[in-house]
Amino acid sequence: MKNLLLLTLMIVVSACSSKAPPAKPAEIEVGYVTLTEKPVPSTVRLSGRVTSTITSEIRPQVTGILSKRLFVEGSHVKAGDVLYQIEPAIYQAALDQANATLLNAEAAVSAAKLKSERYNELLEIQGISKQDADDAKVSYQQALATVAQNKAVVSSAKINLGFTEIRAPISGIIGKSSVTPGALLTANQTDALAVIRVLDPVFVDLIQSSDELFQLKKALSTNGVAAGSKSVNLILPDGSTYDKPGVLKFAEVSVDESTNMVTLRAEFPNAAKVLLPGMFVRAEIDQLINKNTVLAPQQGVTRNPNGEATALVLTAENKVEQRLIKAEKILRNQWIVSSGLSAGDRIIVEGLNKIKVGDKVKPIEIVSSNAAQESSGEINPTSPSEATSKKAN
């Protein structure tokens, strides 16, 4: 009996000793993205107003009674078109009088010329004194001067008669008329009769703080920062984006002492006449380009109880490490990170709820479908649902 019990105990012990050791827990798979440095523009949004590229105020250059208005308000007029007609009768009479006076002066020239020639002949035979001959010559020269003077009067009268037709000095859109037929117009009066504006292209005058411009110039002197594009995007009053980009033309060289602002002028095409003078708009300008900017996917950045931005990254041993980072602002669906992360870091973007700091994990690199664009400098990140995975080397 004893031997039987001993044999049974040995069999049980042998069975227990031959049992396999417990299995090692599988490493958790996480998706990560390798961070790189990319050139990122620093965009500012400025407010401003639309102005016409050319503005011409129509004023009379002679005094008279307005007899006709020859344009349709709000229409397009061409340079040289007659806009208003001033009663021309008194100016036509002045021209006729000037022409008659000129004819009289020209007739006097003929008489003075003949007299001077006869006196010269008589002087040769000593039929008259030299003084008489000189006087005849002077009279002839005076008659010529009188003709020249009267020709100038005729030219002036023609000009004044021409001014009775008030013409468009430029081509553009003409606004409402401030006068009607029968009104008395005064030469070079203060009030404009109408205003012509060129609306294609148009200017947009933007304002920016002189302090911001100072910081901009200071930043341009640092390494890794370059001047931005001169292209300008316009935000319309309803919040939509104008479909045609503009070009920054210049920045004012002085600061407005009352507002501490500097004016920047951009030019926009406006064939459809969407932009009207006086319209309030906003513009976005890439004033700087930070060449070495680190961008972190939004899904890889969280906030701790203190509101600080954090990210989980992989160490060389594939362990989870938490970083406190400074995420300044969002560009599309990525954070611009100024500290805490650098190029080459592997930031975890998938499986965050399955791991904790210190865990050793199995990393799977997330490769976006537009990786080719990102490598060429175009920033257009893809959401996790659109990404494909591959094992890290």
Residue range 242-258, pLDDT digits in tens: 989 888 888 777 788 88
Of 340 and 226, the structure prediction assigns the larger pLDDT to: 340
Per-residue pLDDT of 263-281, as tens digits, reads 888 999 999 889 999 999 9
pLDDT: which is higher, 3 or 233: 233
Q: What is the DSSP string of 255-279?
A: -BTTTTEEEEEEEE--TT--S-TT-
* Tokens coding 36: 């790189």
> Which tokens belong to 83?
């806009």
Local confidence band at 388 (pLDDT 50, 70, 90 cut-offs) = very low
Tokens representing 176? 């409402």
In angstroms, the CA 127 to CA 78 distance is: 68
377: left (phi over 0), alpha (psi -120 to 50) or beta: left
Average pLDDT over residues 122-146: 73
Query: Strands across the sheet with 82-86, in order?
Result: 165-167, 82-86, 64-69, 184-185
Residues of the chain with CATH 1.10.287.470: 88-162
Fold for domain 88-162? Helix Hairpins (1.10.287)
pLDDT computed for residue 164 by the predictor: 94
Per-residue pLDDT, 73: 92
CA–CA gap between residue 185 and residue 163 (Å, rounded): 12
Q: Compute CA 198 distance to the chain's CA centroid, rounded to the nearest angstrom.
A: 17
- State the average pLDDT over residues 29-40: 83
- For tokens 């417990």, the residue is 22
Percent of the chain at pLDDT exceeding 90? 30
| Long-range own/partner contacts, residues 236-242 (CB < 8 A, 24 or more apart) | 236/274, 236/281, 237/279, 237/280, 237/281, 242/268, 242/274, 242/275, 242/281
Q: What is the radius of gyration, based on Cα positions, of the chain?
A: 44
Judge whether residue 328 has pLDDT over 80: no
Q: In this predicted structure, what is the pLDDT of residue 119?
A: 65
Report DSSP state, residue 222.
Answer: S
* pLDDT of 10 strictly over 70: no
Q: pLDDT tier at 383 (50, 70, 90 boundaries)?
A: very low
Q: What is the mean pLDDT of residues 326-338?
A: 79
pLDDT tens, 168-212? 999 999 999 999 999 999 998 999 999 999 998 999 998 888 877
Task: Compute the distance between CA of residue 44 and CA of residue 228 in angstroms, rounded to an integer.
Answer: 11
CATH architecture of 43-53+196-290: Beta Barrel (2.40)
User: Which of the two residues, 145 and 166, has the higher pLDDT score?
Assistant: 166
User: 320 with 29: CB under 8 angstroms?
Assistant: no
- What is the third-level CATH fold of 28-39+292-391? 2.40.420
> 229 with 41: CB under 8 angstroms?
yes
Write down the pLDDT at residue 376: 37
CATH 2.40.50.100, the chain: domain bounds: 60-86+164-191
Taking residues 217-232, report their average pLDDT.
66
Helices 89-124 & 130-162 angle (0-180, nearest 10): 160
pLDDT at 35 over 60: yes
DSSP symbols for 157-189: HHHHHHTTEEE-SS-EEE---S--TTPEE-TT-
All CATH 2.40.30.170 domain ranges in the chain, comma separated = 43-53+196-290
pLDDT value at residue 219: 66
Fold of 60-86+164-191: OB fold (Dihydrolipoamide Acetyltransferase, E2P) (2.40.50)
Pairing of strands 361-367, 28-34: parallel
- What is the arithmetic mean of pLDDT over 41-54? 86
- For 290-300, give one letter per residue: b (16+ CB within 10 A) or e: beebbbbbbbb
Alpha-carbon distance of 39 to 373, in angstroms, equals 13
Write out pLDDT tens, residues 69-116.
Answer: 999 999 999 999 999 999 999 999 999 999 998 888 888 777 777 676
- DSSP annotation of 49 reads E
55-to-51, 78, 192, 315 alpha-carbon distances in Å: 9, 14, 12, 65
pLDDT per residue as tens digits for the range 338-371: 788 888 889 888 888 888 888 888 888 887 544 3
Q: Is the pLDDT of residue 1 over 90?
A: no
* pLDDT score, position 59: 94
CB 195 within 8 A of CB 56: yes
Query: How far apart (Å, rounded) are the C-alpha atoms in residues 291 and 293?
Result: 6
More confident position, 129 or 29: 29
DSSP structure class, residue 360:
B
Inter-residue contact 325 to 309 (CB < 8 Å): yes
Which pLDDT score is estimated for 306? 86
